[in-house]
Amino acid sequence: MTDTRMERRKALGAIMLTGAGATLVATAAQAQQGADTLQQVRDRGELRIGTPPGEPWFYKDQRSDEWKGIGWGAGVAIAKELGVKPVAVETTWGTAVAGLQAGQFDVLFAMDATPQRALAIDFPVQPMFYYALGVLARDGLAAKTWADLDKPDVRIGVVLGTSPDRDLSVRLANAKIERFPNIDEVGAAYMSGRVDAVSLFHPALVMLRSRVKRGTVLLPEPIKAASTSAGVRRDVDKSWRDWIGVAVNSLYESGQIQKIYEEFLTYRGIDPKQAPALLREQWART
């Protein structure tokens, strides 16, 4: 056999080995994607919960190093149902989808389903709870309906590019909408009197009200409601997604998610009676 033929045969063998290696890697990735997360959680004895800091969803007490909040409380309750230990895995909202895809954690509660996120991860169809678009209105500003706010002399602060910004731009043709890059700057504008009200979804308004110590959280009619649920890794086997859906729906139907919310508000020194509920059936009574 000539040297040239020998070299060609070696090169062909190397290519075949490389291809086999790539196939093994792809097969391993497919096996991971198709693995039953529910069984993994049970076998591990731990439910790994993504915890992106942000009240009232996830809050880390710096003194005790313990997590609090609606999302964490829901995770603790669901881990109890499974008979496993809840484990916090710190993440951010910006990297949470990638974290789920990589298997860094098993679930992220209080995560809204968006078209972009749904291209990469799964969401159960059952709602975990509801929140409504509302306003933190200065003392003396009546707002039973959105029409009450749609006046040229009413200034409303929103975070630029958010859902409230888009909604109010359509809903309020006459009010003056002031746009700010983040919630801290909106809060500062409200504190200084540069705006008469701030519009966010109501759990965030409750937390803002607790910081600024002024105004009233209102849900003007017609109420614009949105639901949230939980994000999970996209497995071929949908047992985990479906079970999480049943579990979060049970938290809602039993009123346990509202109890978790009220416990967090009390922990943060907020009177739950002053905060609209997470159960939309109770909004007419707030």
Percent over 70 (pLDDT), the chain? 87
Give the pLDDT confidence of 19-49 residue by residue, as tens digits: 444 433 333 344 344 468 999 999 999 999 9
* Inter-CA distances, 170 with 114, 178, 180, 264, Å: 21, 14, 18, 34
pLDDT surpassing 90 at residue 57: yes
pLDDT surpassing 70 at residue 5: no
Of 180, 112, 169, 114, the closest CA to residue 146 belongs to 169
Count of all residues that appear for the chain in the document = 286
Sequence-ordered list of residues with C-beta below 8 angstroms from that of 140, at least 6 positions apart, any chain: none
pLDDT at 41: 96
Give the pLDDT confidence of 167-222 residue by residue, as tens digits: 999 999 999 999 999 888 999 999 999 999 999 999 999 999 999 999 999 999 99
Give the pLDDT confidence of 112-136 residue by residue, as tens digits: 898 989 999 999 999 999 999 999 9
Gap between the Cα atoms of 124 and 243, Å rounded:
8
Identify the residue with better confidence: 167 or 13: 167
pTM of the predicted model as reported, rounded to 2 decimal places: 0.80
pLDDT surpassing 70 at residue 260: yes
Both tokens assigned to 156: 């409303």
- The label of the residue with tokens 């008469």 reads 196
Give the pLDDT confidence of 86-117 residue by residue, as tens digits: 999 999 988 999 999 999 999 999 998 989 89
pLDDT at 86: 98
